[in-house]
Amino acid sequence: MKPRKVYFNGQYVSEQEARVSIFDSALMFGDMVFDMTRTYGQQPFRLRHHLERIYAGLRYYEIDCGMTISEMEDATLQTLALNLDALEGAEAQIMHNISRGPLGVYKSVFDGGLRPTITINCWPYWWHLAPYGPMYRNGVHAVIPAQHSVPAHLIDPKVKNRSRVYYQMANIQAQKTDPKAWALLTDDQGLVTEGTGFNFFIVRNGRVMTPPGRNILLGVSRGAVMELLENMGAPAVEQDFGLYEAVNADEAFFTATSFAIMPVTKLNGRPVGDGKPGPLTKKLIEAWSSMVGVDIVAQADEYAERVAQMEQPAALAAR
Amino acid sequence: MKPRKVYFNGQYVSEQEARVSIFDSALMFGDMVFDMTRTYGQQPFRLRHHLERIYAGLRYYEIDCGMTISEMEDATLQTLALNLDALEGAEAQIMHNISRGPLGVYKSVFDGGLRPTITINCWPYWWHLAPYGPMYRNGVHAVIPAQHSVPAHLIDPKVKNRSRVYYQMANIQAQKTDPKAWALLTDDQGLVTEGTGFNFFIVRNGRVMTPPGRNILLGVSRGAVMELLENMGAPAVEQDFGLYEAVNADEAFFTATSFAIMPVTKLNGRPVGDGKPGPLTKKLIEAWSSMVGVDIVAQADEYAERVAQMEQPAALAAR
Amino acid sequence: MKPRKVYFNGQYVSEQEARVSIFDSALMFGDMVFDMTRTYGQQPFRLRHHLERIYAGLRYYEIDCGMTISEMEDATLQTLALNLDALEGAEAQIMHNISRGPLGVYKSVFDGGLRPTITINCWPYWWHLAPYGPMYRNGVHAVIPAQHSVPAHLIDPKVKNRSRVYYQMANIQAQKTDPKAWALLTDDQGLVTEGTGFNFFIVRNGRVMTPPGRNILLGVSRGAVMELLENMGAPAVEQDFGLYEAVNADEAFFTATSFAIMPVTKLNGRPVGDGKPGPLTKKLIEAWSSMVGVDIVAQADEYAERVAQMEQPAALAAR
Amino acid sequence: MKPRKVYFNGQYVSEQEARVSIFDSALMFGDMVFDMTRTYGQQPFRLRHHLERIYAGLRYYEIDCGMTISEMEDATLQTLALNLDALEGAEAQIMHNISRGPLGVYKSVFDGGLRPTITINCWPYWWHLAPYGPMYRNGVHAVIPAQHSVPAHLIDPKVKNRSRVYYQMANIQAQKTDPKAWALLTDDQGLVTEGTGFNFFIVRNGRVMTPPGRNILLGVSRGAVMELLENMGAPAVEQDFGLYEAVNADEAFFTATSFAIMPVTKLNGRPVGDGKPGPLTKKLIEAWSSMVGVDIVAQADEYAERVAQMEQPAALAAR
Amino acid sequence: MKPRKVYFNGQYVSEQEARVSIFDSALMFGDMVFDMTRTYGQQPFRLRHHLERIYAGLRYYEIDCGMTISEMEDATLQTLALNLDALEGAEAQIMHNISRGPLGVYKSVFDGGLRPTITINCWPYWWHLAPYGPMYRNGVHAVIPAQHSVPAHLIDPKVKNRSRVYYQMANIQAQKTDPKAWALLTDDQGLVTEGTGFNFFIVRNGRVMTPPGRNILLGVSRGAVMELLENMGAPAVEQDFGLYEAVNADEAFFTATSFAIMPVTKLNGRPVGDGKPGPLTKKLIEAWSSMVGVDIVAQADEYAERVAQMEQPAALAAR
Amino acid sequence: MKPRKVYFNGQYVSEQEARVSIFDSALMFGDMVFDMTRTYGQQPFRLRHHLERIYAGLRYYEIDCGMTISEMEDATLQTLALNLDALEGAEAQIMHNISRGPLGVYKSVFDGGLRPTITINCWPYWWHLAPYGPMYRNGVHAVIPAQHSVPAHLIDPKVKNRSRVYYQMANIQAQKTDPKAWALLTDDQGLVTEGTGFNFFIVRNGRVMTPPGRNILLGVSRGAVMELLENMGAPAVEQDFGLYEAVNADEAFFTATSFAIMPVTKLNGRPVGDGKPGPLTKKLIEAWSSMVGVDIVAQADEYAERVAQMEQPAALAAR
């Protein structure tokens, strides 16, 4: 692979140099606001939405990152521009990571003083997108684990933050039922919240429902899908629901930045509807492809071929 | 400062090289088990207790770190030995960090394959201990913020983990009342749990109470203090209590690895007892000093002098 | 009375033969999905709605009853046809009971193998409907007991199931205030949920409110009443409310299959509005009668006369 | 098999005749108090304890069964005596079922008037005990499902009642991880409560812990095990604990009437301790065998042989 | 000051005579329903709304005050008329206090028998309104304390009652951050409820949100503001929100009878929007002034001048 | 009756003069700490305990009353001395009421400045004690209402405060079952807390249990009874329990200052034990009488005779 450049506190450094100190609040406390944006045709998708979410998170955690949102936007575009060559034609995952910075007591090891740590990095999307082709066609298996969501008043999931070890716990538990399962979280009242990094929708009797924006990340893809549904005359309703509604859904799907829309065709080991991606879900995938000007299913298949040619195909792990 | 060596997945590397990748589960999810041990007379204090706590946490998060506890103990002692010179006479903070490792999808950037990331590092205790002298003599100010503890069934604090952004939120809120305040957390029922990295005890009518071991870290210092109290004929009772008991305490103190025992003489802006470190608290500090063979108050004062001679005295920040 | 036939796992047997084994999961665990449909003019009312609710419940509890919904519909209509004569002119209560079947360990006593137990039975409605006449005219007394509803994530009331001993507890408690009281349940936050087998509506300042469909049975009558209200230009709003709204209602009523709509004129011993069935409630009873082609008040009075002529009039007990 | 007699409201009838009406409150509402007693050497084990638990449950649900506890004891012993021959040498499971009786509205079909329904039946223990031999030697696999316990204030598990469909839901979910898994329930705070019909103990560092008697059935076997532990100098502590303590246990076991003590050697797919029945657990099984005068492991093996000779060996299903 | 008259159980007495007995349920239990109405141009503002709220509260607490709502209205207007002179030109605060009356056991000290205690008193608004001028221009500082709201099922805030010591606790805590802070309460799930005697609104991206009417007082000013917003084409949405939405608001304001609308320009020590009263907030203040025919900002300034001329300016304390 | 004197902010005034202003925080917010002490033989019982509880409450609510506890003790004794004559031989109820004082905005009506309002008054115990004789002999009826206790983190019942309208709500609800019922409160988990002004104990199988000191008032009588039980060799255990334990108790009783110990012989309409005061309860009443040197049952009977001779016997109302 060609070397990539990372924006790191105002400079562009190599990925190796951009590592986060173990004395940084990011690692000490999971105290970091981040975001993931992807490109379509190598253009960032709704970058401003992602940046606004970052800044809302920074206000919540009272981190003053020292850059305006426009400066951040410029830095992002420049980082992308600097890495275009290294992407070798792939779409990019653009990751922003902003922490409160090193803890004061470890100040002596930091040259530049104690200030928030800001990194922006680009990553070619070969490995992330490669496995999605068959998933788009067959759907994935959602499993509700015993691990619950953390509610907003304790650690607010509306801030995309790094204190999410419970996502890993949920993944581990769900994958005991099926090693390929995707975890679907519920709260302490059994209300569905979100997946471990993606939002959830169900369709029942033509009605589209998704959990309200309280104990979930307000996904940019979730928002875009709601716009598409509005345009398709099937507006989604934000409404609390639980296992009963989920097992009785006709269709279900996840949304997230990397895959956009992913059919859920199995829930807790039982088929959703007839066990195949539903008609509305398929229509949405098409509408999304139109909107972004990229056939996302074909792109996944193309990336799968490319990855197969590389030395070691990577397993999906970073949903 | 003299350069220090960090144990990093079986090798000893420089602190700069030991940084954690942004593609590691540690950063992505706050998915890391860690621990802090300190030395007295440059000998680790209850190292085995700390290691047992780490391994209990690894079992909880189903991380197989690939080392037995004895191997970890050996590696720890060797890391300390390698850094003795660099400590320049200071006590050491020994930090263990064990994450699940890099996420699979980013596999291509990691040479050594996907395996847990294990680091052990030593840090001279000059800056941590330096500010404690006057605090031992006058006590600190505890403030209960609006931010609550996360309960064990969501993210278990008995595992010393990195998904603790709520600690920072609690610190920020408490310090709005007093920039020097230490946050004291409560749960959703208003029961006192712990500080943001330390345990809490109160004394009332000669009775010592500390929150039960459910939604708190089971501090090694907490355990040692309970043994000292047992020996002093004033055994601590593990019991739920809230604001009422705290504001009506005669004495209060925190315990943690770095400072051992810290008098709390102010709570929510009002004096605890007569506003001075209580007699039992002072007796405990003496007993601790005896136990470890180091006068901890004198040591703090000595370190303060040393730090004053260095270029830039560091503010306390890593409680 | 003329003997009645019960559909029992594909056969038609006598009521005596249709009893459920003590080794059946229905009795062992209250593990049975059921439903109650009634006839108007001896035609089932919204049978398909009831069957869809049964099948949603079976999916929730992962019971595969071995029959399609259409087969179940056919069996239901045939059961009714076989019992028409035995009804002696009365409307029928049609009860479906579907359990997971006998527990495996007791297999040796069951000839037909271990499979779900399905029964459909008809019951002449003389005794159920007989007491309703004066209640329609004067209203009933709702009392909120200390016993709370079980929330959906523990035992979902949207599945009409048999693990409802708390309904009996609620009835017992409510009837300590008034032996004729009907229990009105609330959840742990004091929000009104449902009665012990019926739904609840209030009217205040012309606005009709009913609890949202989360911790309640989604009554077929509730749905039908909401349609009638829509048509009458007074659409019901699904909204959380508690004691405050209930005691300040102008009108209140229950809905259920047997009685359709029942005015509530007393709540916790105090009059609702002026203590008489309200104008909207009365209009609804008329609209319902029109819809089903049966004057439900007159029918109740007629049944009361008939029951009075029988040997032992039965007390209302099966709400 | 030889025909068995069932005590049914004062008479002894055949098992077929003893079925419970679908119009009984037992089936309508899961409104039935029951108990399971077993024999050792064909003598009931702690029958009085079981009966006292029944009567406590009847008081809770305000069911007056019309018999004193001594009359119930006599009827139980007589039922056993009448069935001794039919047991063909096996130990007996003695089941008491007491419901509030038929609902009043269905009165016309009941000859004997509306009164509580009381049945006592005996069942040869061949099939229940047959599978336990290898389990005693290897232990069983406990899995914590997403389904939680119902807390005491909603449906009190201290009353052995029939509104337990959530036990089946928990079993179904746990068995998605492993078809042979036994479900281990937790409450809404993640505290371990009980299995779906059995109690749970863990041993850690020589300390035996079991959940306190709040949201669990107070098992008679649980009580007997606590006595044995007391005598062995390792008294059990009733204490709240959750997943953390469970995964870090050295040993774990279930207790229940049928199997007495069952080693748990796997929890959520991971070994408990070294994955074999622990030393204290094995000692307890021996102590139990001494106490009851029956080698329970040998008996299970013997029953397994017997069952193998019967036509169709039954799968374990009625834990 | 000129002496004022208080309506006291049917008579008009001096303020000194109108004191409440320590043996009254009002003092013994905080068992009193009350309300505050203000005048504009010495005419009561929405008096009927306030009285309806009182009567809803009386129904909730089952206090029969012995007067119809019209009689109460007449008594109110007469009390105002009797005090017009004593107001010396000021607007009036009209306070209704209705308690269950003296406790029976202390009956011997009450001449008039045991009956509810009803008082209506008028108070010149000089001191309340005097400090508001600069606040309208600069906004106030809202701080979220650790003390939470009491939910409706425990003490319903929809009844304006006197069991509100937690309001004082919240004020005390908030004022530790800033002596001028106004407390903003949240519930146990971290959802914003209300201030300690006022309602809260936020504006974000042109969308106005206010907490739903569950665990809050349904303020008459809140209702009037919602009407104004409706008319201005920016209808408020009743929706749950927490800290995240509050810190990311563009504008925020409180509403209450005394000040009508008060800009919130600081929240937890950080600016709301740009730290100045927002455009919609300012527009609302103007619209309110138009509606009531009084420039509320000018009036506050005028009252401040007047108070400055009095002997001892009173500090704001009765929000 | 002879006129009584009330201590009022340092002076002794008549009861009529001692009334609390409607502008006092006590009435505005139920913001008052109070206590009830009684005499035996006209000597205060455990006055110091009561005063310590008051001062703990003042610390909690951050009210500085301006008097030391010894000054308060002196004032109390002097108030009693001044009223001895007016008691006419009766025991005294001594009530302390301490509020934060008048709200600042109403300052102009208070001569003495804004300071806490402190009153101490004595009341002859004729009417309180008069009804207790038959209750001691027959027991009282406890009923658990739907209204729950407010938990300590919202309004701490360990502070005897005046924000207790929920006590009245509980009384009203309980008395719908039986006009003579005494309300017994539970918390949101169904755990018994306390009565509406008294503590609760049960006895089962010789074991005495009382709710732990978390969400209850720590009654002085409760403490004294626990001492008596300790001395009698039947120490009470502080332990959570709910309805199940309560309905299965052999004995039950309340404790409070006025009546000391009151047998509970009926619970929710069903007898406790055999429906008569239990042996341990009776023994405790005797032990209490010995301890205080007054036969409390005989005293109640004597007071009943005295009250019968007065003009208007007062109903019990101030429990």
CA distances from B266 to B278, D273, E211 (A): 12, 45, 35
**pLDDT at residue D318 greater than cutoff 80:** no
Q: Which residues contact C35 (CB under 8 A, 6 or more apart)?
A: C50, C51, C53, C54, C95, C96, C160
| Mean per-residue pLDDT of chain E | 94
**pLDDT at residue C314 greater than cutoff 60:** no
Count the alpha carbons within 13 Å of A272 in the hemisphere toward its beta carbon. Answer: 30
Interchain CB contacts (distance < 8 Å): B and F: 30
Query: What is the per-residue DSSP string for D126-188?
Result: HHHHTTHHHHHHH-EEEE--SPPPPPTTTS-TTS-BS--HHHHHHHHHHHHH-TT-EEEEE-T
Shortest Cα–Cα distance, B256 to chain A (Å): 16
Residue B25 touches partner A, C-beta closer than 8 Å: yes
Which residues in chain A are contacts of D186 at CB distance < 8 A?
146
Residue E248 touches partner A, C-beta closer than 8 Å: yes
Question: D residues 251-290 near A, CB within 8 Å?
Answer: 268-269
**pLDDT at residue F6 greater than cutoff 50:** yes
- Which CATH architecture fits F132-304? Alpha-Beta Barrel (3.20)
Residue A238's CB is within 10 A of a number of other CB atoms, namely 13
From A185, which residue of chain D is nearest by alpha-carbon distance?
A: D146
Shortest Cα–Cα distance, F137 to chain B (Å): 38
User: Which candidate, F312, F310, F305, F313, places its Cα nearest to that of F134?
Assistant: F305
Q: pLDDT band for B103, please (50, 70, 90 cuts).
A: confident
Touch criterion met for B and C (3+ Cβ pairs within 8 Å)? no
Fold of E5-124: D-amino Acid Aminotransferase; Chain A, domain 1 (3.30.470)
Which residues in chain A are contacts of D142 at CB distance < 8 A?
none
Q: pLDDT band for D111, please (50, 70, 90 cuts).
A: low
CB–CB contact C268 F186 (8 Å) = no
Q: pLDDT band for A315, please (50, 70, 90 cuts).
A: very low
User: Do C315 and C128 form a contact (C-beta atoms < 8 A)?
Assistant: no
Closest residue to E144, CB basis, from B146, B186, B188: B146
Closest residue to D20, CB basis, from C20, C30, C155: C20
Which of the residue ranges B22-31, D158-167, F300-309 would you say has the lowest mean pLDDT? Answer: B22-31
Closest residue to F97, CB basis, from E22, E26, E100: E22
CA distances from B242 to A74, B184, B275, F239 (A): 50, 11, 20, 18
CB–CB contact B247 F156 (8 Å) = no
Tell me: the pLDDT tens digits for D175-185? 999 999 999 99
**pLDDT at residue C162 greater than cutoff 70:** yes
Q: Average of pLDDT values for E169-189?
A: 97
Given strand B5-8, what is the order of strands in its sheet? B11-14, B5-8, B117-124, B92-99, B32-40, B43-44
**pLDDT at residue B19 greater than cutoff 80:** no
pLDDT at A112: 64
Which residues in chain B are contacts of E269 at CB distance < 8 A?
176
pLDDT at D15: 84
ipTM of the complex: 0.93
Residue D176 touches partner A, C-beta closer than 8 Å: yes
CB–CB contact C189 E158 (8 Å) = no
**pLDDT at residue F319 greater than cutoff 50:** no
Tell me: the pLDDT tens digits for F75-108? 999 999 999 999 999 999 999 999 999 888 887 7
Shortest Cα–Cα distance, C187 to chain F (Å): 10
Q: Average of pLDDT values for C34-54?
A: 98
Closest residue to A151, CB basis, from E186, E189, E243: E189
Beta-sheet pairing, F140-143 with F182-186: parallel
Tell me: the pLDDT tens digits for F200-239? 999 999 999 999 999 999 999 999 999 999 999 999 999 9
Which residues in chain C are contacts of E158 at CB distance < 8 A?
244
| Mean per-residue pLDDT of chain F | 94
Residue B213's CB is within 10 A of a number of other CB atoms, namely 21
pLDDT at C263: 98
SS3 assignment, position A240: coil
Which residues in chain D are contacts of C29 at CB distance < 8 A?
30, 162, 164-165, 167-168
Token pair 């082709």: residue = A133
Give CA–CA dist B1/A135, Å, rounded: 54
Q: Average of pLDDT values for B23-34?
A: 90
Q: pLDDT band for D1, please (50, 70, 90 cuts).
A: low
Touch criterion met for F and E (3+ Cβ pairs within 8 Å)? yes
Angle between helix C220-231 and helix C279-292 axes, rounded to 10 deg: 110
Mutate to test the interface with A, among D177, D187, D244, D266 (most CBs of A within 10 A): D177
Domain positions in chain F are 5-124, 132-304
Shortest Cα–Cα distance, A242 to chain E (Å): 19
Mutate to test the interface with A, among B1, B32, B97, B154 (most CBs of A within 10 A): B154
CB–CB contact F186 C144 (8 Å) = no
Residue E25 touches partner A, C-beta closer than 8 Å: no
Q: C-alpha B228: how far from its chain's center?
A: 19
Closest residue to C62, CB basis, from A191, A240, A270: A270
Tell me: the pLDDT tens digits for C76-104? 999 999 999 999 999 999 999 999 998 88
Mutate to test the interface with D, among A177, A266, A267 (most CBs of D within 10 A): A177
From B312, which residue of chain A is nearest by alpha-carbon distance?
A: A108
> Three-state SS across D263-299?
EEEEECCEECCCCCCCHHHHHHHHHHHHHHCCCHHHH
Angle between helix B220-231 and helix B279-292 axes, rounded to 10 deg: 110
CB–CB contact C156 A270 (8 Å) = no
Residue B176 touches partner E, C-beta closer than 8 Å: yes
pLDDT at A104: 81
Question: E residues 46-105 near F, CB within 8 Å?
Answer: 61-62, 95, 97, 100, 103-105
User: Do C200 and C262 form a contact (C-beta atoms < 8 A)?
Assistant: no
Closest residue to C190, CB basis, from E56, E152, E159: E152
Task: List the chains bordering chain A where 3 or more Cβ pairs fall under 8 Å.
Answer: B, C, D, E
pLDDT at C319: 34
Tell me: the pLDDT tens digits for B223-272? 999 999 999 999 999 999 999 999 999 999 999 999 999 999 999 999 99
Give CA–CA dist A224/A208, Å, rounded: 14
Residues written for chain E? 319
Burial class (CB in 10 A: 0-12, 13-18, 19+), E128: buried
pLDDT at E251: 98
Which residues in chain D are contacts of A269 at CB distance < 8 A?
176
What's the alpha-carbon Rg for chain F, to the nearest Å? 20
User: Do B281 and B156 form a contact (C-beta atoms < 8 A)?
Assistant: no
**pLDDT at residue D278 greater than cutoff 70:** yes
CB–CB contact E242 A56 (8 Å) = no
Task: List the chains bordering chain B where 3 or more Cβ pairs fall under 8 Å.
Answer: A, D, E, F
Shortest Cα–Cα distance, F13 to chain B (Å): 33
CB–CB contact D159 F247 (8 Å) = no
Which residues in chain F are contacts of C176 at CB distance < 8 A?
143, 177, 268-269
CB–CB contact B155 A163 (8 Å) = yes
According to the CATH classification, is domain D132-295 in 3.20.10.10?
A: yes
According to the CATH classification, is domain B132-298 in 3.20.10.10?
A: yes
**pLDDT at residue D109 greater than cutoff 80:** no
CB–CB contact C144 F145 (8 Å) = no
Q: pLDDT band for E316, please (50, 70, 90 cuts).
A: very low
Closest residue to B25, CB basis, from A31, A168, A315: A168
Touch criterion met for E and A (3+ Cβ pairs within 8 Å)? yes
Q: Average of pLDDT values for F130-136?
A: 97
CB–CB contact E151 C189 (8 Å) = yes
Q: Average of pLDDT values for C169-181?
A: 97
> Three-state SS across chain C?
CCCCEEEECCEEEECHHHCECCCEHHHHHCCEEEEEEEEECCEECCHHHHHHHHHHHHHHHCCCCCCCHHHHHHHHHHHHHHHHHHHCCCCEEEEEEEECCECHHHHHHCCCCCCCEEEEEEEECHHHHCCHHHHHHHCEEEECCCCCCCCCCCCCCCCCECCCHHHHHHHHHHHHHCCCCEEEEECCCCCEEEECCCEEEEEECCEEEECCCCCCCCCHHHHHHHHHHHHCCCCEEECCCCHHHHHCCCEEEEEECCCEEEEEEEECCEECCCCCCCHHHHHHHHHHHHHHCCCHHHHHHHHHHHHHHCCCCCCCCCC
From C242, which residue of chain E is nearest by alpha-carbon distance?
A: E153
Q: pLDDT band for C111, please (50, 70, 90 cuts).
A: low
**Residue F90 backbone dihedrals phi, psi, to 5 degrees:** -80, 155
| Mean per-residue pLDDT of chain C | 94
- Which CATH architecture fits E132-293? Alpha-Beta Barrel (3.20)
pLDDT at C317: 37
Which of the residue ranges A13-22, A240-249, C42-51, C186-195 would you say has the lowest mean pLDDT? Answer: A13-22
Give CA–CA dist A272/B132, Å, rounded: 60
